[in-house]
Amino acid sequence: MRVFVTGATGFIGSAVIPDLIEAGHQVLGLARSDAGAASLASAGAEVHRGDLEDLESLRRGAALADGVIHLGFIHDFSRFQEVCEADRRAIEAMGEALVGSDRPLVVTSGTGMGNPGPGQLATEDHYDPDHAIPRAASEVAAEAVAARGVRVSVVRLPQVHDQLKHGLVTYSIAVAREKGVSAYIGDGLNRWPAVHLLDAAPLYRLALENGTPGARYHAVAEEGIPARAIAEAIGRGLKIPVVALPPEKAGEHFGGLGYFVGLDMPASSELTRRRLGWRPTQQAGMIDDLDHARCF
């Protein structure tokens, strides 16, 4: 099928596009710059110019495709609530173009949406439209689109990593480099789930091809890595001290990332593996990738 992909020039898009093409699909990738367009063309994708806040360009891209994978997100944590609302509008716009058809839409969210409460294991079947994490807006939009008859499913991401990038941990590395210390909050036992980039990419294709309308899938290979272990890996890489901070210092030290760093949000992918036959096969876990990270 011809697949419209937002976020096509991003970190995850760089792995999803070749996976789709290898499986025999054509890719129409969203690009907002000449450099992005050139990158997509060299990857074997068609180019659709526009951006995530140009809703008309999103509608046109979706209308031209047999299915949509929405990877794009504006990663500005200083205005997280605002960019989550922008994501809601983007999903609704693409959904409008798919109403009345049988074309699938795969939306991206975070595994934190599946946590029933602090420290409880996130599962695919848990959904709370009033979740405290603002990213709930993405799943609320998916529900609204589904209510109009669109075949929408959700892939929830943990920290996606390789030796180049590491999800939110990449931002933690930048803070550690600036501050001269690698910090964690409290006892550092709060956990973050993770998956290798090359394992996350095929899950999007499986959801596109075989996903159940209304389903949520978790791209989780490691259910929960302690924040202290992550901070220690950053400390080793940058050769700087590792320190514990009280929760009230999180915002001051981490800035916009402070909301996330103390959260305990382990996640399971048991139902995803059973329902889609997805199996993470990459050998490198997040700590291993951090120990071999190119940014160090």
Report DSSP state, residue 241.
-
The stretch 87-112 carries a mean pLDDT of 97
Q: Which band of pLDDT confidence, cut at 50, 70 and 90, is reported for residue 199?
A: very high
Q: Which of 206-221 are b and which e, b meaning 16 or more Cβ less than 10 Å from the residue's Cβ? A: bbbeebeeebbbbbbb
Report DSSP state, residue 48.
E
Which residues constitute the domain of residue 205?
2-158+196-219
Whether 105 and 147 map to the same domain: the answer is yes
Percent of the chain topping pLDDT 90: 93
> Tell me, what's the pLDDT at 284?
87
What tokens appear for 14 in the block? 């760089």
Whether 185 and 213 map to the same domain: the answer is no
Whether 27 and 170 map to the same domain: the answer is no
Q: Which band of pLDDT confidence, cut at 50, 70 and 90, is reported for residue 70?
A: very high
Place of tokens 């990158």: 39
Q: Which of 161-192 are b and which e, b meaning 16 or more Cβ less than 10 Å from the residue's Cβ? A: bbbebbbbbbbbbebbeeeebbbbbbebebbb
The stretch 149-153 carries a mean pLDDT of 97
Largest Cα–Cα distance in the chain?
57
> Tell me, what's the pLDDT at 285?
95
**Contact, 158 vs 113, CB < 8 A?**
no
User: DSSP labels for 71-123?
Assistant: ------GGGHHHHHHHHHHHHHHHHHHHTTS--EEEEEEEGGGG-SSTTSPB-
CB count within 10 Å of CB 117 equals 8
Whether 174 and 203 map to the same domain: the answer is no
Tell me the whole-structure pTM to 2 decimals. Answer: 0.95
> What is the tens place of the pLDDT at every residue in 228-244?
999 999 999 999 999 99
The stretch 12-32 carries a mean pLDDT of 97
DSSP H or E run through 177: helix 168-179
Does position 78 have pLDDT exceeding 90, yes or no?
A: no
Give 24's Cβ-side CA count (13 Å radius): 2
Residue type (1 letter), 280: P
User: How many domains does the chain divide into?
Assistant: 2
> What is the tens place of the pLDDT at every residue in 263-291?
999 999 999 999 999 999 987 899 999 99
Whether 173 and 67 map to the same domain: the answer is no
Within a domain: 37: yes
Whether 188 and 79 map to the same domain: the answer is no
The radius of gyration computed from the CA coordinates of the chain, to the nearest angstrom, equals 19
Q: In this structure, what CATH number is given to the domain that contains residue 255?
A: 3.90.25
**Contact, 193 vs 267, CB < 8 A?**
yes
Whether 101 and 174 map to the same domain: the answer is no
Q: Decide: helix, strand or coil at residue 263.
A: coil
Distance CA(138)–CA(216), nearest Å, equals 12
Within a domain: 17: yes
Residue type (1 letter), 70: H
Closest by Cα among 113, 142, 294, 144 to 219: 113
Q: In this structure, what CATH number is given to the domain that contains residue 14?
A: 3.40.50.720
